[in-house]
Amino acid sequence: MSGTEAAGLTSFLPAILVGVFALLVLMLDLFSPRDQRANVGVITLIGVALALWATLRLWGTQGELFGGMILIDSASLFFQGILLVVAFMTILLSIQYVVQEELELGEYYALILFATLGAMLMGAGGDLLILFLGLEILSLAQYILAGMRHGMLKSSESAMKYFLLGAFATGFLLYGISLIYGATGTTDLRRIAAAVAERGLAGHPLLTLGMGLLLVGFGFKIASVPFHMWTPDVYEGAPTSVTAFMSTGVKAAGFAALARVLLMALGSLQGEWAPILWWIAVLTMTVGNIAAIAQQNMKRMLAYSSIAHAGYLLIALVAGQQAGFASLLYYLLAYAFMNLGAFAVVVALERRHDRYLQLADYAGVGFRYPILGLSMALFMFSLSGLPPTAGFMAKFYVFSAAVEQGYIGLAIIGVLNSLISIYYYLRPIVLMYMEEPKAEMPSLSLAPFIFAALVLAILGTLHLGLFPAHMLGLAQDAAQGLLGG
């Protein structure tokens, strides 16, 4: 379909499949005998795989739907690919975990699919209202998923905290949209860009204030400083498989929407928003990395790590232009593989009631469970940005884009933060291979679906690190399509 116009709803097939399978999963769970509901996870996996296949088939398609509300281009398809990969691997992690934690199967998988659908709308939105709609679908599903471990105070607390702060951030976002509409007379991203250029709205009070409020709303979703305080508590209290999805899928959706608004609609105002993002990026990297050093809980450490990576991704947005946007796409994909891989190890070792989540519990894991030990070592190396992993190439492209646009100081700060992060990323490795295993460490048989998730994460992390050219080329095509359009 390369180079053709989108043929009606066919170009929206991936999102349609995700929505249809979400409803199908609910119906199957409702009408199936209890002893057959375990198949719901496999059916969900099939639905996501079909949506991913449809996305790959659509690559190269250009078009729009619903009067430009939905944009079908290489950028939206790239984002959809990332989100569906995240959903696929999250479901692989979940199939054993939801049974272990006694979660409601139908509701769980349906909510994962609805959250993915909302995220896909954010990646393809050509209008502020669609971005808002997608954000709300994603957020409502995540609020429920965060509190699905009924009877656990920590899980209920995380859901309530996420809901209250999320609703507060949504208010900022909606008010920002209304101010931008008041300044430009439209919520269409391309028309906003045209209005700013043609009517000379740079410095307009309503537009400037609206832009600032949008940064607050999206800043909450991507967990940037100073809107990050919810992250460690929510990540720790939510089911671990949900935390894995939040740290990758929700972050990718937030950056997808933020990139479309800043680079597509407000690209001509880069001189106004880039200095603000410069400081937010520096604070986000630094606070995330320094706070992670003090953590003793694996999920909290990965939460602060996620905050730090949001800072690196913000560097790509500050750089802007095609190089910056391409590096953002590449980084999000690389981060999905290495972070979900780390969470796969955490899920494999975790037991009910949050047992074996402390860093001290990882003592001797490398010798007792060699596959998990080597896998975790690879993912920690990649997250810290050591070669020859995906994390190294992702950071290299982001920092190179910053240097190319003259942000040399920001790139240096990013490199220094990466060096700081090596300390806490190496701690689990040291414990796994240089400490005696705990006597009470349980026997473990690696579930097939978790093993499959580990294999996918390992292959993705190594392939993007050793052979980055093809995927970077696709990211550059997507960037050219978005910014060139």
Q: How far apart are CA 244 and CA 249, in angstroms?
A: 8
The per-residue pLDDT for 18 is 95
**For the chain, what is the domain count?**
1
Asked if omega into 226 is within 30° of 0 (cis), the reply is yes
Both tokens assigned to 17: 């499949």
Q: How far apart are CA 41 and CA 47, in angstroms?
A: 10
Please compute the mean of the pLDDT values over residues 139-149 and round it to a whole number: 91
The per-residue pLDDT for 5 is 42
Q: Identify the CA nearest to 146 among candidates 66, 245, 217, 57.
A: 245
Q: How far apart are CA 14 and CA 289, in angstroms?
A: 36
Per-residue pLDDT band for 288 (boundaries 50, 70, 90) equals: very high
Q: Is residue 3 in a domain?
A: no
Q: Is residue 111 in a domain?
A: yes
Q: Is residue 241 in a domain?
A: yes
Both tokens assigned to 81: 């690919």
Please compute the mean of the pLDDT values over residues 350-355 and round it to a whole number: 73
The per-residue pLDDT for 104 is 81
Is a pLDDT exceeding 70 seen at residue 354?
Answer: no
Per-residue pLDDT band for 453 (boundaries 50, 70, 90) equals: very high
Please compute the mean of the pLDDT values over residues 442-451 and round it to a whole number: 79
Please compute the mean of the pLDDT values over residues 33-40 and round it to a whole number: 70
Domain span at residue 103 reads 8-484
Q: What is the dihedral of CA 417, 357, 95, 372, to 10 degrees?
A: 70
Q: Is residue 139 in a domain?
A: yes
Q: Is residue 346 in a domain?
A: yes
Please compute the mean of the pLDDT values over residues 314-321 and round it to a whole number: 91
The per-residue pLDDT for 396 is 95
Is a pLDDT exceeding 90 seen at residue 142?
Answer: yes
Please compute the mean of the pLDDT values over residues 456-462 and round it to a whole number: 96
Both tokens assigned to 202: 């740079």
The per-residue pLDDT for 89 is 96
Please compute the mean of the pLDDT values over residues 285-296 and round it to a whole number: 94
Task: Express each pLDDT in 209-258 by its tens digit.
Answer: 999 999 999 999 898 988 888 889 999 889 999 999 999 999 999 999 99
Q: Is residue 73 in a domain?
A: yes
| Greater pLDDT, 91 or 28 | 91
Distances (CA, A) of 24 to 52, 109, 245: 18, 10, 21
Both tokens assigned to 456: 């996918």
The per-residue pLDDT for 439 is 58
Per-residue pLDDT band for 440 (boundaries 50, 70, 90) equals: low
Which of 4-13, 254-263, 276-285, 383-392 has the lowest average pLDDT? 4-13
Per-residue pLDDT band for 408 (boundaries 50, 70, 90) equals: very high
Q: Is residue 58 in a domain?
A: yes
Please compute the mean of the pLDDT values over residues 297-316 and round it to a whole number: 94
Is a pLDDT exceeding 80 seen at residue 69?
Answer: yes
Q: Is residue 441 in a domain?
A: yes
